[in-house]
Amino acid sequence: MSTRKIGKAAMAARGREGGFTLLESGIALLVVAIGMLGPLKMMAHAMASSSTANARSVAALQAASLASIIQSNAAYWRDGEGRTASITLKQGKIDAGSSLGVANGLNCDATGVVARPQCSPEELVGNDLVEWAGSLDAALPNPSGSIQCTQTTQRLTRCTVTVRWHERYVSGNGSADPSTSAATATASDSPRSFITHVSI
């Protein structure tokens, strides 16, 4: 066998090896890329869970704040019209269908430059609720709040405070709802609520 034939055979073998190495590298790159999808999905799920937990914490704080507002004005909520109040707060205002007969935007703030007259318990409720609704609007996506009060005894009123908002909900399997399959949905705008009870 001549050296020329041996040289051609060796070059052909080296060419096949080079092509095989390129194929191996491509497969390894594909496996690594697929492997990176898992951690990326876990990071996305962690971020969504963190956002959900934050919204729920804010809702709990807002409900506690409204409960404090109610408890600080017993003259209205326990002894006045608030005993049977049904109030809804949307878009930073008291909803027109509410039983509260106070106009939106009344300012009872005594710390301003201009001295303001002292507000009645009803006017103070209107001022407090509008301020609270404004802070709720800034804190949660598409929020609303409601207060439903019932007089339980002669000197006791029980109020239910509800804070509602919408959040993007993603379950562990990537679906919008734990009951749906991952093939049908990935996330949805889901209504949530937080309820607390206040006795005064």
Strands 188-199 and 86-90: unpaired
DSSP state of 132: H
Q: Residue 7: what residue type?
A: G
- Cβ–Cβ under 8 Å, residues 160 and 152: no
**Predicted local distance difference test score (pLDDT) of residue 53:** 87
Per-domain residue ranges of the chain: 3-199
**Count of other CB atoms within 10 angstroms of residue 165:** 22
Report the DSSP beta bridge partners of residue 90. Answer: 93, 144
What pTM value is reported for the model? Answer: 0.67
Residues 10-43 pLDDT 10s: 565 565 555 667 888 889 999 988 888 888 888 8
